[in-house]
Chain A
Amino acid sequence: MISIHSVVFFILTLLLAPILPGVINKVKAFFGGKMGPPVLQLYYDIAKLMRKSATYSQTSSLVTRLAPVVIFFSTLGAGLFVPSFFREASCRFAGDVVLMAYLLGIGRFFMVIAAMDRGSAFEGMGASREVLYSALAEPAFFCGLLVLINETGDLSLSGIFNGLSLELWRQNPAIMLLIAVSWMIVLLTENARIPVDDPNTHLELTMIHEVMILDYSSKDLGLIEYASALKLWLFSSLLVGLIISAGAVPPYLHIPVFLFGILAVAVVIGCVESTIARLRLIHIPKFIVGSGALAIIALILKIAGN
């Protein structure tokens, strides 16, 4: 069932993914009145990291060496199911929404146990926070998906996002808006962006994602950096698919409109990061539970509306 088209678009996704962090950094630099690193910086970084040899701590075991590969391939696997450019994804079957979410979950699990593996209390703290926040974000993501499944009557991601149309926005603007906002919060949480986690800190005791990859170097770090960028791209493409419905775009405009949408998401993230301060650690669970509240209200509106 794999068509040439979908493979081409999947490869395009893989090639373009590292642009997103570059765009976000450009926007942040603009707000700071600086030039900022070039948009393609992450490509250079990954290319540089790939040429270096790795160093491992003496206390670490096989898990530390295994984790980057697992993270890379599980994110890649999740990418197979996410429709991009308003087309069918490379693979689809009824219920692949769950597989996609938990492939990302496997990646996160390995990142967490690799952080625990190195025996640093500092990394253990980051691991514990990562698990707490992603556990809180998961119901928000799935409640949103439940509403969309109910709306389109399809159980695969490709089916759901190809079934969306502007008609839904016209009929139930409140529901769609609630899901969009809640998924934006999930995106910020899952990808360690600012109100939840600061991707730039390397010194604070409050960092989450960065602390877990602190001990990685060279190829391992490159794989993880790439997987993070790809994960950001996947969540952004879900958000773009939700906001700009596939049915509303004529086929010949699919690629430009989709790219525009993804860049718009990156610019929004950049603006959020430049204007909002990082939340205090004890307030973050409230922020994420709030996104769950939005999604559950959307679900109740949907069920009660039927």
Chain B
Amino acid sequence: MNSIATLLALSCIFLLGSSRLLMSIRMVAFQGLLLGILPLAAAGDGHLSLALIFLSLASIALKSILLPWLLNKAMVDSGTRREIEPFISFGASMLLGLFLLAVSGWIVDKLQATEPVPSPVTLIAGFYLVFSGLLLLITRRKALTQTLGFLVLENGVFTAGLSLGSEFSVMVELGILLDVFVGIFLMGIMLFHIDREFDHLDADRFNELSDLEIAASPDEEVAE
């Protein structure tokens, strides 16, 4: 389990530093694969139930095949290949990522003071995925990368939940998977429409959108 958590954290560092959308999408697909294996590793030998295997397979199929395919299609259709000039440069966001890794370690350390965690390394990885997903959401300009950030965030929640050893029921997990699928699907449709309407996926430039011309006051722009 620890080695899977290590790989998850490494893939996040890579995501923070990579400017190529194709590589980022592949990395998120790889994360999906790791997340599919994680419940099996957590259960250990002899505790493998049919439901668990089904959940794992469904998770892999959705997170590492279907969603990456969908995002890849959105990327090819929009002709966007790279994330250019994020709000925080790639090197700086990697450094920030290291800092967040240390913060995750510190949080888990504090949590353990109150109650021992079954698998601290996996919990750290979970927190770290959540943080770096948020960082991707905030600092990137392209709507596609922000979608990836959302996916990473969700992966983090899944990992953190798993590491706490909570008894997860298959129905609940399937429901969450369905939610994620619908969410990303909607985002894919939105990406398509944004691209057709405005010819780019640059979410930052939407701040300038307004029906009113120059007369618009700042308040109205926010409302828009």
- A residues lining the B interface (CB < 8 Å): 174, 178, 282, 285-286, 289-290, 292-294, 296-297, 300-301, 303-305
Contacts and interface: CB of A to CB of B under 8 A. Distances in A.
Contact of A293 (B90, B101, B108, B124): B101
Contacts of A285: 91, 94
A64 to B, nearest CB: 32
B3 interface: yes
Contact of B6 (A174, A286, A290, A303): A174
Contacts of A286: 17, 90-91, 94
B90 A297 contact: no
Contacts of B124: 300, 304
Contacts of A178: 6
Interface of B: 2-3, 6, 9-10, 13-14, 17, 90-91, 94-95, 97-98, 101-102, 105, 108-109, 120-121, 124
A175 to B, nearest CB: 9
A290 to B, nearest CB: 6
A292 B121 contact: no
A282 B85 CA distance: 13
Contacts of B91: 282, 285-286, 289
A222 B98 CA distance: 40
A285 B124 CA distance: 25
Question: What 3 A-B pairs have minimum CB-CB distances, sorted nearest first?
Answer: A285-B91, A304-B120, A293-B13
Given A174-B2, A300-B121, A304-B124, A289 B95 contact: yes
A300 B121 CA distance: 8
Given A286-B17, A290-B17, A293-B13, A301 B121 contact: yes
Contact of B101 (A174, A282, A300, A305): A300
B102 A296 contact: yes
A293 B94 contact: yes
Contacts of A174: 2-3, 6
Given A290-B17, A304-B121, A305-B121, A297 B2 contact: no
B9 A297 contact: yes
Contacts of A290: 13-14, 17, 94
A23 B98 CA distance: 36
Given A286-B91, A286-B94, A292-B98, A304 B6 contact: no
Contacts of A296: 98, 101-102
28 contacts: A174-B2, A174-B3, A174-B6, A178-B6, A286-B90, A286-B94, A289-B17, A289-B91, A289-B98, A290-B14, A290-B17, A293-B97, A293-B98, A296-B98, A296-B101, A296-B102, A297-B6, A297-B10, A300-B101, A300-B121, A300-B124, A301-B2, A301-B6, A303-B105, A304-B108, A304-B121, A305-B2, A305-B121
